Amino acid sequence: MRVLITGISGFIGSHLAEYLTQALPNVEIFGLVRPRACVSALKKFGDRLRLLEADVRDQGSMLKIMNEVRPDRIFHLAGQSAIEASFRTPNETFTTNALGTVHLLEALLEIQINPVVIIASSAEAYGLAYADELPLKETAPFRPLSPFGVSKAAQDLLGFQYYKTYGLKVIRARIFNTLGPRQPLHYQASSLARQIAEIEKKKREPVLKVGNLENKKDYTDIRDLVRALWLVSEKSQPGEVFNLGSGQAWSGNEILKLMLGMTRAKLVLENDDKKSQLPEPPILLADISRLVRLTGWKPQISLKQSILDLINFWREMA
């Protein structure tokens, strides 16, 4: 089987590659990276992984890659994933996430291949959820509150449309929040973890800058998430959609409390006004019953362990 992972140098992509190399030795893995992308996290995979340069925003390069690889399965993970940045660059966010998906799907039509395509949608497409809608089922309406959320809603709907119109084997995975080593700094938990690690090493003043800590999010360890992605690709039928989360939600205050219990550093909290002012969903909580019924998947790594591993990652980097 030939598996293509777009955005393989990213948080989810690199962990998915790690999972596949360890659990599925007979799978051929191809990874799509943008030119000049940092691929240091992928060097350990050696000959198991073949990297290819292309930009999802460029139709021609996507067509070339699809024709060269002719994959049996695609995990479409490439995209602009920073919610805060999406307010500054909504055009780039929409172009990368939505138009990039069009380019991928159009390339498949052009060369007439029909692999299974897992599109990494996002819980941010749900956006504003009301109390009587929780936990969120896959049938919940989209009310995105950020340009990122809008772009992921469009990407999600494009996947469904190409399935219905052209019969492409698209499966949509609506990913809720993730935690774990190598998480980018635009995620609140990772930013807090790095600050703590640098304060411990005396590389910054003992002031922890925090944003909005009231909102509740559904967190899953990244290593559990990639296992769920693979199971969905194995067991799902084209056209289906699944929430990928833990089925539990924690506030930023609860995450911070766990982190503070993992350090001996004396910290002063300081509000980051810029981050606090951005609109965010008050709560994103997944109903994962459809995923569990199909795959039997359950989270194996606790929230506390995920946070500890994230802090230890930044301790090693500090």
Task: Write the pLDDT tens digit of every residue in 41-72.
Answer: 777 777 789 999 999 999 999 999 999 999 99
Domain membership of residue 203 (yes or no) is: yes
8 A C-beta contact, residue 148 and residue 98: no
Domain membership of residue 291 (yes or no) is: no
Count of structural domains within the chain: 2
Instruction: Select from 113, 108, 89, 104 the least CA-distant residue to 54.
Output: 104
Give this prediction's pTM.
0.96
Instruction: Select from 249, 240, 245 the least CA-distant residue to 228.
Output: 245
Domain membership of residue 292 (yes or no) is: no
Average pLDDT over residues 2-8: 97
The answer on pLDDT for 39 being more than 90 is no
Confidence class of residue 277 from pLDDT cuts 50, 70 and 90?
confident
Instruction: Select from 212, 219, 216 the least CA-distant residue to 179.
Output: 219
8 A C-beta contact, residue 282 and residue 123: no
Domain with 94, as residue range(s), is 2-177+221-244
In a shared domain, residues 89 and 18: yes
Domain membership of residue 145 (yes or no) is: yes
Average pLDDT over residues 204-210: 95
Q: What is the CATH number of the domain that holds 113?
A: 3.40.50.720
In a shared domain, residues 190 and 65: no
CA atoms 155, 124, 184, 171: torsion sign? negative
The answer on pLDDT for 275 being more than 70 is no
Domain membership of residue 295 (yes or no) is: no
Tens digit of pLDDT for each residue in 282-302? Answer: 999 999 999 999 999 999 999
Annotate the chain with DSSP letters as a single string.
Answer: -EEEEETTTSHHHHHHHHHHHHH-TT-EEEEEE-TT---GGGGGGGGGEEEEE--TT-HHHHHHHHHHH--SEEEE--S---HHHHHH-HHHHHIIIIIHHHHHHHHHHHHT---EEEEEEEGGGTBS--GGGPSBPTTSPPB--SHHHHHHHHHHHHHHHHHHHH--EEEEEEE-EEESTT--TTSHHHHHHHHHHHHHTTSS-SEEEE---S-EEEEEEHHHHHHHHHHHHHHPPTT-EEEES-S-EEEHHHHHHHHHTT-----EEEE-HHHHTS---SEE-B--HHHHHHH-----S-HHHHHHHHHHHHHHH-
Confidence class of residue 276 from pLDDT cuts 50, 70 and 90?
low
Domain membership of residue 290 (yes or no) is: no
> Mutual orientation of helices 303-317 and 252-260 as an angle, nearest 10°?
60
Question: In the numeric block, which tokens belong to residue 88?
Answer: 């500054």
In a shared domain, residues 134 and 147: yes
pLDDT of residue 37: 67
Q: What is the CATH number of the domain that holds 305?
A: 3.90.25.10
Average pLDDT over residues 260-276: 87
In a shared domain, residues 46 and 14: yes
In a shared domain, residues 30 and 167: yes
Q: Count of alpha carbons within 13 Å of 135, Cβ hemisphere only?
A: 16
Domain membership of residue 293 (yes or no) is: no
Tens digit of pLDDT for each residue in 77-97? Answer: 999 999 999 999 999 999 999
Tens digit of pLDDT for each residue in 122-147? Answer: 999 999 999 999 999 999 999 999 99
In a shared domain, residues 154 and 272: no
Q: How many of the other CB atoms lie within 10 Å of CB of 38?
A: 10
In a shared domain, residues 127 and 209: no
Domain membership of residue 294 (yes or no) is: no
Task: Tell me the pLDDT of the chain averaged across its residues.
Answer: 95
Average pLDDT over residues 1-30: 95
pLDDT of residue 34: 83
In a shared domain, residues 172 and 236: yes
In a shared domain, residues 99 and 235: yes
Burial 260-293 (b: 16+ CB within 10 A, else e): eeebebebeeeeeeeeeeeebbebbbbbbebbee
In a shared domain, residues 38 and 56: yes
